[in-house]
Structures are given as C-alpha cells and as structure tokens.
Structure 1
Amino acid sequence: MECSTVDTTKARFKALPLQFRFLNTGDIEELKLLCKSCFPLDYPHYWFTLITSDCRFYSLAAMLNGKIVGMLVAEVKCKCQVQYEHDSDILASSFGPDTPVAYILSLGVHPLYRRKGIATELFQKLMTEMSTGTTLVKVKAIYLHVLATNLSAIRFYLGLNFQRWRYLKSYYVIDGQFCDGFSYVLYTNGGRPPWSYSELIANTASALQDLQPCKITVRFMSWIISYFTALLPGCPKVVSPTLHKANCRVL
C-alpha cells in the first residue's frame, strides 16, 4: 500500500483542538474522499469495509470540528505472515515465526491541514499502543512501503527513526504505470534486524577471542581473528588475545 502523504514538519502553529477515535463503518464515505485527496492509489470499497470492521487493524482518525482530517491504519501480524519476497527478513532469525510486527497500510492528512503535526500525533499514538500493549501487542518492528518519489513522506519517516530496508522495483501500479517504492522499518520493544556480514564476522571473531588460550594455539587464534577482521572493510577491529603464562601451557 502507498502509505502516506504526510506533514513533514513539527507544528509551527497554535495546537489544533484535535480529537482521536477509532474508525468505524459509518466513516467509509468520508474516508473515500480523504484518501482521494491524499493518495495516488484507488482503494476498492472492500478495503474500507475491512479496515473499519476487522479487529486485526488499528484504524485511527484525527478529528477536527467533527471532520476526519487525518487517518492512520496499521495491521498487526506475525513475522511468518510478512510478504516473503519483500520484507520477511526484517527481523533477526532469533525471533520466531509468531513474533508480532505491525504494517502501516496508510497514513495521510488532508491537504488543508498538513504541516501542523497531525501525522506525527497519529503516529505517536500508534507508538504508545505498541509500547504499552494496552490494545495492541508489543510488536518488535513497524514497517511500511512508500513511493520512491514521495520525498516528503520519506523525510517524515526518517525523522521518526525509520530506516530504509529494501528497494522495491515496480512495486506500485499508478494510472497504468509501474512505479518504484521503498520499504522502511522501525525496530521497537527490543526488536532488531539480522546481523550484517561485518557484524557476523566481528561477533565470530569476538567469540574466538573469548576461548581459553590453553585450548588453542595463541598464534593460530590470532591469525584467525586477523583474517576475519580484515575480510570486510567495515568490520570492527578486534584485539588479539594475550597469553597468560600462569594459566596456560605451551601446546
């Protein structure tokens, strides 16, 4: 899903008297108008029915004078339900297939009310729920997809500490044209990404360093560590172990 046309700066105006509530099926027609003003995609009717009636979705509206001026829709799912070809590896393998994650389907603010901090407030309310677990489980990652050309949304997510995960070639079809996208992810509640190659090598070298020198020739051990450390330029330097004569005998 394209998930956002958002305000990219903090509120520079007097705080708006916003109210927040969950969406319901009575909001569908108003939501259609809001999405049409916010997104280049056409959502089918069943999508609006789904997000306003299915308990899997966290669907929140920002209200101003009784009118919906912003919306955020997120779905909580298990790691094993994440699209395999795109984002299934966003979490380290140490997290099991039932680990909860959240996918932001949509985040948008009406054009007349952008740059007033509404999108930020919507997202912060989602984060509060994800952190406290009062109505949602404590997910380990929040991820989303965004058009590669939607620079304002990308800046917004980077400002919220999201990190780019993957380039999605021809992910969207808009007006009959294929458009590229990106996936972004934010780790929460102790979640973390898989180790990079440099981290894997560095941790392997550190594990070797922690071995008792009595059990392996120190010179050979130092060579192994140096080899792994030099294998990748970004790998942190690991100090070779020293020989403690009092505890080790020469092999």
Structure 2
Amino acid sequence: MAAGPSGWIEGPIPDQVELPPATESEATGADDYLPRSSSSAMPDPNAASVPRLKARVHRRFSTADVCATIPLSEVRFRPLQASDLEEMMTLHTEWFPVSYDQAFYDKSVNGQLFSLVAIHSAASQSAGSSSSEEPEESLLGMITMSTFCEHHGEDIKHILGGECEDLCKRKKSSGPVSDAEEGQAAQNTGNTGQLAYILTLGVCDAFRRRGLAKELIRRSIAHVDHNMPEVLAVYLHVVTYNQAAIRLYESTSFTCIEHFPSFYFLHGSHYDSFLYALYLHGGHPPWKWRFRNLWSLGLPTTWRKWLVTAWSSLWQSDADKRVQDSDP
C-alpha cells in the first residue's frame, strides 16, 4: 500500500495478514525500555499492538538529534541485497500494521522486485576495531515496487481504463516459467506490464522529515521513466487516515484517482483506501475519471449539457457502426 513519510501504508500484496495484538508477555517483556514505532501507518499509535523499535539502525540513530548531524549528501542508495533480509523484515514490522509473506521479502532482496534502499556507512568505533574492517551499513529507508501483473491486475482498469490482459503487452512463454526466471526476465526487459505499483515505502523513525522519503520516490520514478518506457503510470494505495503519506504523494505530483471503501482490515476495523497515480510516457487517466473531474469543477450548465450531448452522440454513433458492421 502506498504511504506517507516514514510509515507509509501502501496497497497490500498477496497473502498479507494482519498483525495480532501484543500478548501480555510481550507487553511486559524485556523490550519494555524500547520506544514504540511512530509510523503514521498505524491506525492507533497508542495501541499495545504498535511494535517496539528493534531494528539495528536504532542502535546508531536513536534520536532525531543524532540523525541531524548526518548530511543527506552522505546517504547512499542501492538495491536491497540478501544481507539486508533480517533488517528489512524488522523495519517492515515497525512501519506497517500488517505482516508480509516471506515470498515478498525474498523477491525484494534477490532482485525480482524493484527496490531502493537509503544507507549510511560508518566504520565501527568499538575498542580494538581495525581500520580495514568493512564499514557498518545502516538502512535508513527503502521503497519496493512491482511491475508484475499479479500485483496490479485488479487496479489497472481504474488507472488506465482497461483490463490487464488487453493493455499489458507481455511476451508469453511457451512453457512454464519459474519465479526466478520471471524475475530475471523482468530485470532484463522491464516489460512485465504497463503499471509500476509501489508496494511499500518507509523511513526509520529518527530520520524522518528530512526529505528522504521524497528522494526515494524521485529516484524510483526516474528509474521507471528512463528504463521502463512501457510503464504508463506509477501508483499506490494509501489508507485514508494517513495524512502524512497523502501530503507526501500529493507533493510529488501524484493524483488521487479512486476511493475504495473498507479496503483494509487493520486491528479489527475496516479502513478506506485512496488510489494515487503518477502518469508517465503518455499515460493518462480513464475518460470516466476525466469526465467526472470536469463535472466536479462546477462547469456552467450549458457546457455540461453540451458535454453530455456530445458524449451521448459519440457513444450512439459507435453503437450504430457496430450494428451496421454486424449486418449481413
């Protein structure tokens, strides 16, 4: 689900399940001294189910004051890799009120899904450490994105106005293809479909409000723009109470295309979703959305009547032509 600064909540991917409330033993366990997540994706930030901050990054960056000493020029960007798996899973637990299945994490770190992670490196300062040691990398934030039809098949009609099998011009294999082969083909050709779906976006608690989430979005969109000419829109779902996420996406030129009632079920309650999209490579919203938007702008009655008449005439003309073509 798409998101909002640091604890965005994006559209769910398959087999996403709700996190259970914290048990009594968890609530009174050894981690009680740890602060809780301040993710804007959480439906109730004061609930016992809000997770504690256990990721490694918090050992180095426990407060915003510490992070403030790090200029953004020292932050580097790269794809996720296998060594990031444990930290990625821990951070996603802190950021989102849902649990993602293992396949999502595996595909993210092995390159089958697009990913971009913001990192900061620092040599270990512990006693006896050698200057030749590899610098410790801290994951400050990350974004994951998919162009696979399995993720956008149900949304594409709202974004582009057609069905996935008609719009996505993917090469069909003559035989069965493994997940690894399909992922590698996606990396090599970038031709899995006409939509790029932002699955998750998050920034660690202490590094928020520094512009990092916006930079992750900017770089991801630039990648799609330069390397995936077949993709006509980047899109996401965001829970309607996540105002921080909504402000973020609107500030990066995303447009609200649709509203889905009761899209999420989080901590025992239903929540609505907004679908936001950013169009690229000549892509545009469906005529239905554009017509509805024009109507909502308060067009004068005369123009409204003209538009309705013109639309009806075009539809009737097309219908008459289909009838004529079908006559023997």
Instruction: Give TM-score scaled by structure 2 length.
Output: 0.54
Q: 1:7 to 1:170 in 2, by over 3 A?
A: closer
Same amino acid, percent of matched pairs: 28
Q: Structure 1: any 5+ residue segments left out of the alignment? A: 203-224, 233-251
Could you tell me how far 1:16 is from its partner in structure 2?
4.3
Could you tell me how far 1:61 is from its partner in structure 2?
0.6
Distance in structure 2 (CA, Å) of the matches to 1:198 and 1:110: 37
In structure 1, the residue matched to 2:153 is 83
Distance in structure 1 (CA, Å) of the matches to 2:83 and 2:230: 29
What are the Cα deviations for residues 18-74 of structure 1, in whole angstroms up to 9, with x where unaligned? 01111122211101221122222222333211222252x111110012100100000
Higher RCO (CA-CA < 8 Å; seq separation 6+): 2
Over the aligned positions, Cα root-mean-square deviation in angstroms equals: 3.2
Asked if 1:22 is matched to 2:79, the reply is yes
In structure 1, the residue matched to 2:138 is 67
Letter paired with 1:69: L
Distance in structure 1 (CA, Å) of the matches to 2:195 and 2:140: 27
Q: Structure 2: any 5+ residue segments left out of the alignment? A: 9-67, 122-136, 170-192, 295-301, 310-328
Q: 1:229 to 1:74 in 2, by over 3 A?
A: same
Distance in structure 1 (CA, Å) of the matches to 2:254 and 2:197: 13
Distance in structure 2 (CA, Å) of the matches to 1:197 and 1:163: 11
Distance in structure 2 (CA, Å) of the matches to 1:111 and 1:41: 18
Q: Counterparts in 2 of 1:79-158, with a 5 A limit?
A: 82-84=152-154, 86-93=155-162, 96-98=167-169, 100-133=194-227, 136-158=228-250
Letter paired with 1:82: H
Could you tell me how far 1:196 is from its partner in structure 2?
3.6
Q: Is the 8 A contact 1:7 1:117 kept in 2?
A: no
Q: Which is strand-richer, 1 or 2?
A: 1
Q: 1:114 to 1:7 in 2, by over 3 A?
A: farther
In structure 1, the residue matched to 2:254 is 162
Deviates more, 1:35-44 or 1:20-29: 35-44
2:91 aligned to which of 34, 56, 71 = 34
Q: Is the 8 A contact 1:72 1:122 kept in 2?
A: yes
Distance in structure 1 (CA, Å) of the matches to 2:263 and 2:213: 24
Q: Is the 8 A contact 1:101 1:142 kept in 2?
A: yes
**How many residues align structurally?**
201
What are the Cα deviations for residues 93-144 of structure 1, in whole angstroms up to 9, with x where unaligned? 59833252100001110110011111111111112111111xx454110110
